[in-house]
Amino acid sequence: AQSVTQLDSQVPVFEEAPVELRCNYSSSVSVYLFWYVQYPNQGLQLLLKYLSGSTLVKGINGFEAEFNKSQTSFHLRKPSVHISDTAEYFCAVIPGDSSYKLIFGSGTRLLVRP
Amino acid sequence: DAGVIQSPRHEVTEMGQEVTLRCKPISGHDYLFWYRQTMMRGLELLIYFNNNVPIDDSGMPEDRFSAKMPNASFSTLKIQPSEPRDSAVYFCASRSSGSHYNEQFFGPGTRLTVL
């Protein structure tokens, strides 16, 4: 069964520093990959998604992610974070077998300090 | 559009009581999903509907949980009787038809506390 691993439960970083949130998925013939953000007391909001084509995907709020098929990874990056980026970030996958299920990772809490 | 609407936002109840969570999907969306979020298990899909018909309820934890979608603009998730271990945040999400990787739009969630 498809699974998603986010090894870092929390990532503390200073404001204006770069950040990378790691995501690995179990191998499959094809997958569709997503990053969602959850601000405190809110629902999830789509940051970006990879369906096909260019392996570098740009999303909202200056975030980007790179799909690496050989390493089965989809890490999220931002060159300079803001206090307002403090939130929970979820990596998710839809297997390419026409399943409608979004399978989520356990989440990474990004804590941006001044 | 107001987005996905969930009510109530917070619910506190006592063990054994019936709890009903409500969701209004985005107009025109024909897929509706119910998720549960806990610290221990993360985000879990409970059930999803397509055109008001339940398609996959394999994530529903047990018979105490039931979900309905009587029309395209309303769905309920009911827990009867409720137990303390049901305490969680319950999210409703909707999406339009077409490609199955279309974005799911999430509601703000209902925080349920069962005492």
B31-63 confidence digits (pLDDT tens)? 999 999 998 888 999 999 999 999 999 999 889
User: Is A46 in Cβ contact with B48 (below 8 Å)?
Assistant: no
| Confidence (pLDDT) at B1 | 64
| Confidence (pLDDT) at A54 | 86
| Confidence (pLDDT) at B6 | 96
Judged against a pLDDT cut of 90, whether residue A2 lies above it is answered with no
Integer angstrom CA distances of residue A5 from A74, A85, B88, B109: 10, 21, 22, 24
- Nearest CB neighbour to A100, from listed B48, B106, B107: B48
- Nearest CB neighbour to A32, from listed B43, B101, B109: B101
How many interchain CB pairs under 8 A, A with B? 43
- Nearest CB neighbour to A42, from listed B48, B104, B108: B108
Closest CA to A49 of B45, B96, B102: B102
Chain B nearest CA to A42, separation (Å): 5
Closest A-chain CA to B92 = A43
